[in-house]
Structure 1
Amino acid sequence: MSEQHRPSCAKRWREHATAEQWAVERTVDAIHGCCGVSRLRAHRLARGWTLGTAVAEFHRMCSESGVTSPPKADEDQLALWEKRPDRRPRAATVDLLCRLYRTDSQGIGLVGDYRRSSELEAPTPRPSSGYVRENSARGPFAAARSEGDTITDLPADPIERMAGSVRRSVDGTLASTSVSTGQLDLLDERLLWLRTQYISTPPEAMLGVLLADLEEVRTLAAERQPAAAQVRLSETIALLATLVADCLMKLGRLRQSRAWYATARTAADDSGNIEIRARVRAQAAMLPYYYGPLESAISLAREARLLLRHRFSATGAFAAAAEARALARQGDASGAEEALHNARSVFEKCEHGPVEDAFAFPERRLLLYLSGVHTFLGRSRQAREVQQRALSLYPSHSGIDPALLRLEQAICLARERNLTEACRLAGAAYLQASPAHRTTILGARARHVIEALPPSARSARAVRELGEILALPPGTV
């Protein structure tokens, strides 16, 4: 193992991880790779724990979980395991260390995986308030634990657990890949099929397929490849990770979505493909556009547009349209007009392929973004014209875009103080979407209709009825 860095280096990584909202596994990877420490020690340092704190947490976990005859681990023993991975603890102890750090034995640098299905479902202990008090001076990681472990907790439900596990594996692989040209061609064919299916497939069903394919690509990239092959693999990972992030955003899993967009950007930058680097950033702008902050949406879309400022491509038109829509929602009319002019100009000059997929930008998609610009600049007449034109271009099975257009029609009505009709249209648009597509993002957009109404009108009967519809579980109506 290389010379170990001082603990202050790990502290700087924790501070960076907090600022960038990294998952704990990514912080572990960074500390392990930079500081020259074992993965077991990196897990402890990523949480800001001393040896004493880690041992106390270990024994408390054993006690709360009802572990009979727990190992007599102390600070010296833990330090030995951290410094000498060859001095492997017993299998049962490895299992307990995995539970302590909420990972598997590969994650702590010990060969094999000793997790048991019953223990995977067991509740994972949370740090006591004493831990928070003892570590309050250790920086933002300690603070984050006192606010509900938003950084160090691993997800409990199956989708988040699977998404988090695969994403961490992908992040690890990007740092470290033999594959034939034929295999790469097959991967490209598979990716194109996934991109076409993505348009109409519900996000939860699509997520499992994407994660399985991503894991296959990561396995192929387990060893560093020749430059040309590595570029193609990184491009594939970037695009698949972007679709995963978009699925998670639609499902309302915002923390996971944000982390996956970061992974997609890492892969895109690793590939060096400017088009893909811009596409990932433009797509990532959707998350802050719908959930805030708008400044991040504008910044990401603008960065994507500037990457392609000397090119005419569908991605460039998409980035400019996304920037225009976000600026309009922020109330910047002149900025939105300039970006919109740029979007139209690029759209008219770029080529549009015959196959439409998740990364295409056909006319109906441009009109969807124009609808947002006109809606939030208060141009209801222009917005209605664009909305009707866009709806006429969508096929019968086309995901949630038609519903989003109808909800923007409702927002126009709300801004015109047509309360009853706005709520009726919003409720109908929400219920007409298939249950599998009636996800968090659609509900959030429908609530924007209510937010567009004056506060004094939000207690009206029509508004209450819309709220009741949005509160129903998917599939109940």
Structure 2
Amino acid sequence: MEHKPHRPSCAQRLREDAADRGEPVQETAHRIHAHCGVTLLRAHRLARGLTLQETADGLNTLGARYEAAPRADGDQLGHWEKGRQPRPVTVDLLCEFYASTAQDLGLRGSSQSSSPDEPPAEERAPARRPQQALTPAVAPRRAADTVPLSFEQQIDAARRSVDRTLAVGTVTPTQLDLLDEQLLWAREQYVYTPPAPMIEILLGHLFEVEDLATHRQPAAVQVRLSELTAMIATLIADALMKLGHLRQAQSWYATARNAADDSGNTELRARVRAQAAMLPYHYGPIEAAVALSREARILCRNRPTPTAAFASAAEARALAKLGHAEGAEAALRQATEIFERSHARADTGKDAFAFPERRFLLYMSGTLTALRRTAEARRVQESALALYPEKTGIDPALLHFEAALCLAHEHSTEEACQLAAATFLRTDPAHRTPIVEERAREVVEVLPPRVRGSRVARELREILALPPGQM
């Protein structure tokens, strides 16, 4: 460029004008490139409102999956933006991050278009642990003109897109009401639909909300859009957790908290945190589950709401799993009192964001089972199972696994393993996700070491190791 590049504030004005017009980010980047006299690579960063360090952090997070990916910092990125050519593998990473081609970024080629002697990028990437496949239709629409993305890349690209649009904030009340209706329908579906197809449905709703949120909205409208985003992101995170995609689940829970905080809705902020506590409860660290549920309880300020009961019950269950009996019992008493005052017992539980009696009993069962109060836990499990409809998700299976844990605590090894195996095999294959496998394995793990090699324990482990089609 012969003329002196314009200041970043000029690009900011162009970006804001483009957002008001609903202009695609790729077009905005080329507009900034032509008007401000900066390289295409820098124009793409400025079109997204990112700093050098934010972009470097994003590249490093994205590149963590690839063995050959270099570590980037703000200084290096600045050199690339001034015309220095990155290595081919770095070009690949930049293309993926910006959902653009190398030509769009003003760079020469990439490792995916390298010489015949050099293996393609996907062959150089380390093999990843196989995960349950999802429908390819979840790919973000903005990346449609790029090379096909893997499932992990699709999920990460969608989440980053949501995070970028949350801060940008003309929608009619009718449009908002329709979005509310669609999400309520999805929340009802979520109660019984397997997580893999549910993610595709939720991402479709999310893109609709995001399209509206990318434009400047009146404050009241922006609040409702942020609330919708928080609820959808929470359900996506929960579905990813069930499927065993833990890193992405954690990121989506963070996005949900970001959206809930942006809405200013205290009840929703608490609910998202209580829901997010499920991830560390099941996969660790348990201390994080205690912290999240406790934060949710504090946000509720002792109001007798279903969310407050949920938060206290989640805190009790996590404390019990940590072995803090006194704290768990106190939290459970508080949860019981709040639940009774909240009138949530009358809730039918058709909504994924409800906290009906059967879910309260599920959390009570988890607390009592961890405290080894097996007789009480068994009564609670039976009461909860009687409340579940025929068409439901994995909660009944979780209750049966807890019943198996109670048997294991009572040294009834054979009955415990048989119940866990029968529960696992009885679960609908579409719902037989990694979280169900983990709960079944927990039954073996709590057995005394001397009996873990018994015939029934071996048979349970063999069932869990079988491929789905051979069960």
When normalised by structure 2's length, the TM-score is: 0.75
Deviation at residue 110 of structure 1 after TM alignment: 8.7
1:452, 1:185 → 2: CA distance? 49
1:178, 1:266 → 2: CA distance? 23
Match of 1:298 among 285, 290, 294: 290
Match of 1:316 among 261, 283, 308: 308
1:103 aligns with 2:109: no
1:428, 1:325 → 2: CA distance? 25
Structure 2 partner of 1:456:
450
29 and 364 in structure 1: CA distance in 2 versus 1, 3 angstrom threshold: farther
Structure 2 partner of 1:269:
261
1:158, 1:48 → 2: CA distance? 18
- 1:357 aligns to what SS in structure 2? coil
Letter paired with 1:440: P
Deviation at residue 161 of structure 1 after TM alignment: 2.4
- Kindly report which structure 2 residues correspond to 1:409-448, keeping only aligned pairs within 5 A, or say none: 409-448=403-442
102 and 434 in structure 1: CA distance in 2 versus 1, 3 angstrom threshold: farther
Match of 1:2 among 5, 8, 18: 8
1:177, 1:367 → 2: CA distance? 40
368 and 196 in structure 1: CA distance in 2 versus 1, 3 angstrom threshold: same
1:439, 1:414 → 2: CA distance? 23
Post-superposition CA distance 1:414-437 (Å, at most 9, x none): 111111110000000111000000
329 and 78 in structure 1: CA distance in 2 versus 1, 3 angstrom threshold: closer
Deviation at residue 100 of structure 1 after TM alignment: 3.2
Work out whether residues 43 and 108 of structure 1, in 8 Å CA contact, stay in contact via their aligned partners in 2.
Answer: no
Work out whether residues 163 and 211 of structure 1, in 8 Å CA contact, stay in contact via their aligned partners in 2.
Answer: no
351 and 225 in structure 1: CA distance in 2 versus 1, 3 angstrom threshold: farther
- 1:223 aligns to what SS in structure 2? coil
Post-superposition CA distance 1:109-129 (Å, at most 9, x none): 99699999x98x9517569xx
Structure 2 partner of 1:150:
none
Match of 1:474 among 445, 468, 471: 468
- Kindly report which structure 2 residues correspond to 1:224-303, keeping only aligned pairs within 5 A, or say none: 224-303=216-295
1:96, 1:298 → 2: CA distance? 41
Letter paired with 1:453: L
Work out whether residues 329 and 377 of structure 1, in 8 Å CA contact, stay in contact via their aligned partners in 2.
Answer: yes
1:46, 1:443 → 2: CA distance? 32
2:45, 2:306 → 1: CA distance? 36
1:94, 1:230 → 2: CA distance? 42
- Kindly report which structure 2 residues correspond to 1:311-390, keeping only aligned pairs within 5 A, or say none: 311-352=303-344, 353=347, 356-390=350-384
Deviation at residue 338 of structure 1 after TM alignment: 0.9
Letter paired with 2:282: Y
Deviation at residue 385 of structure 1 after TM alignment: 0.5
Structure 2 partner of 1:144:
none
Post-superposition CA distance 1:273-297 (Å, at most 9, x none): 0011001100000000000111000
Work out whether residues 348 and 356 of structure 2, in 8 Å CA contact, stay in contact via their aligned partners in 1.
Answer: no
- Kindly report which structure 2 residues correspond to 1:167-182, keeping only aligned pairs within 5 A, or say none: 167-182=159-174
Which structure 2 residue ranges, 5 or more long, are not aligned?
Answer: 1-6, 10-43, 62-67, 114-119, 127-147
Work out whether residues 413 and 422 of structure 1, in 8 Å CA contact, stay in contact via their aligned partners in 2.
Answer: yes
1:99, 1:334 → 2: CA distance? 54
Q: What is the percentage of aligned positions where both structures have the same residue?
A: 53
2:76, 2:407 → 1: CA distance? 68
Work out whether residues 106 and 113 of structure 1, in 8 Å CA contact, stay in contact via their aligned partners in 2.
Answer: no
Q: Which moved more, 1:401-410 or 1:104-113?
A: 104-113
1:410, 1:245 → 2: CA distance? 28
2:416, 2:376 → 1: CA distance? 17
Deviation at residue 228 of structure 1 after TM alignment: 0.3
Work out whether residues 417 and 443 of structure 2, in 8 Å CA contact, stay in contact via their aligned partners in 1.
Answer: yes
238 and 265 in structure 1: CA distance in 2 versus 1, 3 angstrom threshold: same
Provide the aligned C-alpha RMSD in A: 3.5
Post-superposition CA distance 1:304-346 (Å, at most 9, x none): 0110023111111111101111111111111111111111111
Post-superposition CA distance 1:23-75 (Å, at most 9, x none): xxxxx989x8574x4xxx864575579xxxxxxx89x9xxxxxxxxxxxxxxx
Work out whether residues 43 and 101 of structure 1, in 8 Å CA contact, stay in contact via their aligned partners in 2.
Answer: no
Structure 1 partner of 2:153:
161
Match of 1:185 among 177, 186, 189: 177
2:190, 2:88 → 1: CA distance? 39
1:170, 1:369 → 2: CA distance? 32
1:405, 1:347 → 2: CA distance? 20
- 1:393 aligns to what SS in structure 2? coil
Work out whether residues 106 and 112 of structure 1, in 8 Å CA contact, stay in contact via their aligned partners in 2.
Answer: no
1:361, 1:79 → 2: CA distance? 50
- 2:353 aligns to what SS in structure 1? coil
Letter paired with 1:415: H
Which structure 1 residue ranges, 5 or more long, are not aligned?
Answer: 4-27, 50-56, 61-75, 128-155
Structure 1 partner of 2:392:
398
In the alignment of these two chains, the number of paired residues is 390
Structure 2 partner of 1:25:
none
- 1:442 aligns to what SS in structure 2? helix
- 2:81 aligns to what SS in structure 1? helix
Structure 1 partner of 2:122:
123
- Kindly report which structure 2 residues correspond to 1:54-133, keeping only aligned pairs within 5 A, or say none: 82-83=81-82, 99-101=92-94, 103=96, 105-106=98-99, 123=122, 125=124
Structure 2 partner of 1:147:
none
